[in-house]
């Protein structure tokens, strides 16, 4: 056993924990009615709570829903079953995870229609944060998958499970997708489903790696499962890499926008430096810069601002100014 494996496993791999891990992650189903009913009830209730939290724009409610959502268990269980060579259980875990995701979307759609005011999709921070996944979301999902695998694979890290549930976004984007589909907002639903897909592949990739490093692959039932494990590992890697490309592009757009906004703000401050006006707000988006200022006296020349914006390399087609109030 290598040094890295000993670090991840906390010593030697504890084969006696395998049955317990399999029950936690629904790989082993000894009592189908009890285990699946608990899973389904918690899943449905978490979807209802998360949808209501998104409608109310309440992060606290959404976090509460994430704490009780059980969807990550079969996702981790799929990786664990693959690592231990149990292909049938892995296929069942994958089916449970994907069926659970579809159920969340359906419940969220129905819940959003039942809420009198509906779920606002525009100007809702709980929605906007889950429809434009970035590269940082992929990094968070990978790290969360590592912690999740450690939490179920070691008995001294189990307390980290609530933190993992909060850090990685699984149920909320599915709820956003359900609410968006109920309102016919296909673009919003697509963005939310992309975030879930990113999280799913990243968790599979990181969990597979951790379970392998912890030595659970050495407890595979038979050698014929080696090809199946390799195929799943390759699928997780390829899927994650393919998803990383559009996320990197989206992240680059965010960085560029931030750079433009910062350049515009600096230009406005320089433009007003010798005047009696102060900037209230600067909006640099859609090819236009809208400046809101407050003060008194002669207004500064907009042409001077246009020159400063060009010097700061801020791509702008139009510059507008609003004076909110005059000081007496």
Q: pLDDT (tens digit, 9 = 90+) per residue, 264-278? A: 888 888 888 888 888
Q: What stretches of the chain show up as alpha helix (H) in DSSP?
A: 3-9, 18-24, 32-55, 59-68, 72-83, 87-114, 125-128, 135-153, 161-167, 171-182, 186-213, 225-271, 302-311
Give the least confident one: 22-26, 199-203, 287-291. Answer: 287-291
Tell me if the pTM is above 0.75: no
Percent residues over pLDDT 90 in the chain: 23
Structural element, H or E, at residue 290: strand 288-295
pLDDT band at 96 (very low <50, low <70, confident <90, very high): very high
Q: Which long-range contacts (CB under 8 A, 24 or more apart) does 76-79 make?
A: 76/25, 76/145, 76/148, 76/149, 76/152, 76/203, 76/207, 77/22, 77/24, 77/25, 77/26, 77/27, 78/204, 79/149, 79/203, 79/204, 79/207, 79/208, 79/211
- Spatial distance between the Cα atoms of 47 and 53, rounded to a whole number of angstroms: 10
**The pLDDT value given to residue 328:** 46
Structural element, H or E, at residue 280: strand 278-285
Structure-token pair, residue 117: 């005011």
pLDDT at residue 97 tops 90: yes
- Spatial distance between the Cα atoms of 84 and 73, rounded to a whole number of angstroms: 16
| Tally of CA atoms within 13 A in the half-sphere of 134 that contains its CB | 9
Give the least confident one: 30-44, 93-107, 243-257. Answer: 243-257
pLDDT band at 125 (very low <50, low <70, confident <90, very high): confident
What are the φ/ψ torsions at residue 290 (nearest 5 degrees)?
Answer: -110, 120
**The pLDDT value given to residue 106:** 96
**The pLDDT value given to residue 99:** 95
What residues form DSSP beta bridges with 289? Answer: 284, 319
- Spatial distance between the Cα atoms of 271 and 262, rounded to a whole number of angstroms: 14
Structure-token pair, residue 179: 């609410």
- Spatial distance between the Cα atoms of 317 and 172, rounded to a whole number of angstroms: 38
Residues 173, 196: contact at Cβ < 8 Å? Answer: yes
Region 279-302 average pLDDT: 80
Region 175-184 average pLDDT: 93
321 in helix, strand or coil? Answer: strand
**The pLDDT value given to residue 158:** 62
List pLDDT tens digits, range 154-175: 877 766 666 666 767 789 999 9
pLDDT at residue 314 tops 60: yes
CA-wise closest residue to 142 among 237, 63, 64, 218 = 237
């Amino acid at each position: 056993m290598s040094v890295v494996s000993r670090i991840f496993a906390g010593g030697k791999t504890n084969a006696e924990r395998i049955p317990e891990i399999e029950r936690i992650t629904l790989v082993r189903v000894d009592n189908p009615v009890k285990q699946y009913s608990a899973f389904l009830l918690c899943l449905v209730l978490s979807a209802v709570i998360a949808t209501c939290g998104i409608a109310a724009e309440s992060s606290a409610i959404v976090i509460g829903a994430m704490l009780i959502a059980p969807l990550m268990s079969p996702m981790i269980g799929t990786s664990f079953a693959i690592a231990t060579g149990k292909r049938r259980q892995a296929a069942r875990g994958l089916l449970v995870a994907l069926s659970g995701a579809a159920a969340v979307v359906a419940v969220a759609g129905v819940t959003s229609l039942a809420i009198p005011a509906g779920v606002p999709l525009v100007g809702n921070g709980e929605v906007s944060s889950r429809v434009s996944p970035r590269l940082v979301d992929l990094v968070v999902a990978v790290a969360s998958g590592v912690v999740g695998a450690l939490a179920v694979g070691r008995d001294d890290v189990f307390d980290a499970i609530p933190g993992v549930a909060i850090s990685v976004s699984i149920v909320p984007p599915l709820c956003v997708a359900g609410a968006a589909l109920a309102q016919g907002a296909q673009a919003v639903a697509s963005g939310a489903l992309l975030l879930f897909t990113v999280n799913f592949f990243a968790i599979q990739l990181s969990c597979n790696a951790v379970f392998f490093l912890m030595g659970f692959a050495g407890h595979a039932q038979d050698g014929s499962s080696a090809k199946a494990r390799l195929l799943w590992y390759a699928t997780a890697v390829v899927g994650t890499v393919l998803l990383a490309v559009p996320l990197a592009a989206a992240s680059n757009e965010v960085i560029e926008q931030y750079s433009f906004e910062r350049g515009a703000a600096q230009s406005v401050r320089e433009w007003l430096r010798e005047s009696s006006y102060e900037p209230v707000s600067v909006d640099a988006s859609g090819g236009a810069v809208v400046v809101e200022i407050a003060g008194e006296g002669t207004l500064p020349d907009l042409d001077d601002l246009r020159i400063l914006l060009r010097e700061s390399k801020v791509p702008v087609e139009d510059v507008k100014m609003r004076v909110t109030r005059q000081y007496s």
